[in-house]
Structure 1
Amino acid sequence: MSLREPMALASLCLPVAAVLIWPRSWWALIVFVVWTAAVFAGLAVWQRKAHREHCDKLLAHAQLSTIRTLSHHRHDWMNELQIIYGYLKLNKLDKAVDVVDRIRAKMEQDSRISQLGCPELSSYLLSFRTICDTMRLEVEIEDGLTLDKLPLEAEKLSQAMIGAINVIRFRASVTYAGENVLRIELARRDETLEAIMQYSGELAGADSIAEELELCLQGAGQLAQGLEPAENSPQARTMIIHFPLPA
């Protein structure tokens, strides 16, 4: 709330005081009625304007996010096309076919993410590259999985998943020895929805990650015991989250 609203409401003290001082005067009552009507009419106008400005900002942010996402995807496709072109010029058809297969697999995964049935989570996963430059995100969605058709609160699950990813994202340290990668597999397992998060790379404060993940889940899911760090990769972590599906 801006200062306008409190100031406008505070100004009602003047006509109220006039009515109290001159209770038998008709003009004081008229001033009170007109003043009150004007104040609330002005508040309504200001609130509509503030709401419109807020919606415009949200729309502009969404448009900018979309543009950045499309730009990143265009950059990726151009790189892949240049690789294919190079293999074709060298007459390495088998290598070119491998790149095409990789592109097809990536497009299939993007399609599954888009059809996940939760716009907030889908948008976050597809635009992740535009908001994070310290970690690469790879997502594997079970074929045919749509959250809006499962007996759970898709919005609550979406917020829990985004929060869990952000826990890793904010702890991913800049590394010069390799690349930080978070791989997520989302699939239905009998009476639960299982999210397997496998991270490899530099990670700050790894000992407290489980506690932070529990806070992000907020009762929507349960953090299961993951695999121990591998001896040849002490920074690798596997975290498994189970989201129960009510019968």
Structure 2
Amino acid sequence: MMFRNRTLWGLAAWISLALPVTSVILWPDTWWPLIFLAFWTLAIGTLVVMMERRIHREHCERLLTRAQSSAIKTLSHHRHDWMNELQILYGYLRLNKPDKAVDVVDRIRARMEQDSRISQIGVTELASFLLSFRTVCDTMRLDVDIQDGLYLDRMPYAAEKLSKSIIGLVNVFRFRAASPSGGENVLKMAFYRQADELSIAFEYEGELAAADSVTEELARCVEGIGQIDQGEEPAEQTRQARTMVIHFPLPA
């Protein structure tokens, strides 16, 4: 709607130039129509530039507001998760169960290390998507494991293209994940680098809608930059178990 209004205003502004142009045609031997045309053109040009700047500023403000809102939701969700873990830890300490408390601390430490590696993966768009995933998806849990010392921005890939491909792979499972009748849907991702390629291992356990076409859709996400090594096929039951590895060969 905003784009349509912007187009109409711009079109109307330039069409209004017909008035001074007509005056030049009707009175070709006088000087004032030329001055009128020059001033009118300058005024229209100034108006259009001002409108473009205002629209660009409003667009940037909306993007900033959206990013801030997403960050707040992510922080709120993480705070809720940590509070739950701390309450469990406090309960075990009150019950004098140190072994159980140690397990909770180890789980918290592992989550913190995971989030730290995601935030340092080197591609802002991908890191933001993975860290905020829990706030935008309630049908599937995403567990991410990144090889120590793996930074995508230090690898010879087009970062934006690689990021969109990986996000697309996750979204294939995200949008196909059906509300489970029992348990939960879990997608595990493991990033690791081999000698001549970047590999991402996927392991999905849960319920999928239209599961037969998942592999084909995944292949479209990596077309031209990677290939799928299909692993375990899903069993003949509602609950699906899929494993696969996506290979991204390093450019020469």
TM-score per shorter chain, which class? over 0.9
TM-superposed deviation, 1:207: 0.9
Deviating beyond 4 angstroms after TM superposition, the runs of 4 or more aligned structure 1 residues are 230-234
**2:240 alignment partner, SS class:** coil
Candidates 94, 104, 108, aligned match of 2:109:
104
TM-superposed deviation, 1:172: 0.5
TM-superposed deviation, 1:210: 1.5
Structure 2: how far apart are the matches of 1:231 and 1:37?
71
Unaligned runs of 5+ in 2: none
Question: What TM-score comes out, normalization by structure 1 length?
Answer: 0.96
Paired position in structure 2 for 1:204: 209
Aligned-pair identity in percent equals: 60
Describe the shift of the 1:232–1:17 C-alpha distance in structure 2 as closer, same or farther (beyond 3 A): closer
TM-superposed deviation, 1:107: 0.3
RMSD of aligned Cα (Å): 1.4
Give 2:179's aligned amino acid: V
Paired position in structure 2 for 1:136: 141
Structure 2: how far apart are the matches of 1:109 and 1:32?
65
Paired position in structure 2 for 1:79: 84
Structure 2: how far apart are the matches of 1:125 and 1:238?
20
Paired position in structure 2 for 1:43: 48
Paired position in structure 2 for 1:20: 25
Give 2:88's aligned amino acid: I
Candidates 163, 166, 169, aligned match of 1:161:
166
Candidates 104, 107, 123, aligned match of 1:118:
123
Paired position in structure 2 for 1:64: 69
Once the two structures are superposed, residues 40-68 of structure 1 have per-residue CA deviations (whole angstroms, 9 ceiling, x without a partner) of 10011001100100000000000000000
Contact 2:117–2:146 (Cα < 8 Å) also in 1: yes
Structure 2: how far apart are the matches of 1:52 and 1:118?
26
Aligned length: 247
Asked whether 1:182 is paired with 2:187, we answer yes
**1:212 alignment partner, SS class:** helix
Paired position in structure 1 for 2:250: 245
Candidates 4, 8, 18, aligned match of 2:9:
4
TM-superposed deviation, 1:232: 7.8
TM-superposed deviation, 1:229: 2.1
TM-superposed deviation, 1:192: 0.8
Asked whether 1:224 is paired with 2:245, we answer no
TM-superposed deviation, 1:234: 4.8
Name the stretch that deviates more: 18-27 or 172-181.
18-27
Contact 2:232–2:241 (Cα < 8 Å) also in 1: no
TM-superposed deviation, 1:205: 0.6
Structure 2: how far apart are the matches of 1:194 and 1:212?
18
Give 1:149's aligned amino acid: R
Give 1:207's aligned amino acid: D
Unaligned runs of 5+ in 1: none
Give 1:105's aligned amino acid: A
